[in-house]
Amino acid sequence: MKILLQSVLNRLYFRRPGVWTADPNAAHDFERSQAVFDFVDQQRLHDVQLVVKVEAPSRFEVVPLELPARTAAA
């Protein structure tokens, strides 16, 4: 099983900073879903989704990411 990050705009997978790939096998495996959430928050990414790639039987499970809107301090 691999935990991947995918752009919803172009369907490319995150490989490393500044590099995205169409090949899920070449994509970075975050190993834990929390690592994806933390990375997306730290990098302030938008229009991405978490993808779980399961090997047997081969399938992909997609989890849309909706980050809470940040509010300005009063």
pLDDT band for 2, please (50, 70, 90 cuts). Answer: very high
Q: pTM of the entire structure?
A: 0.81
Q: Residue 5's closest CA among 66, 65, 69, 71?
A: 65
Task: Return the percentage of the chain with pLDDT > 70, whole number.
Answer: 89
CA distance 69 to 14: 23
* Rg over CA atoms, the chain: 13
- What pLDDT does 9 receive? 95
Higher pLDDT, 27 or 66: 27
Residue position matching structure tokens 């935990």: 3
Name the DSSP letter for residue 70: P
**Single-letter amino acid, residue 9:** L
Residue pLDDT, tens place only, 42-61? 999 999 999 999 987 778 88
Question: What are the boundaries of each domain within the chain?
Answer: 2-64
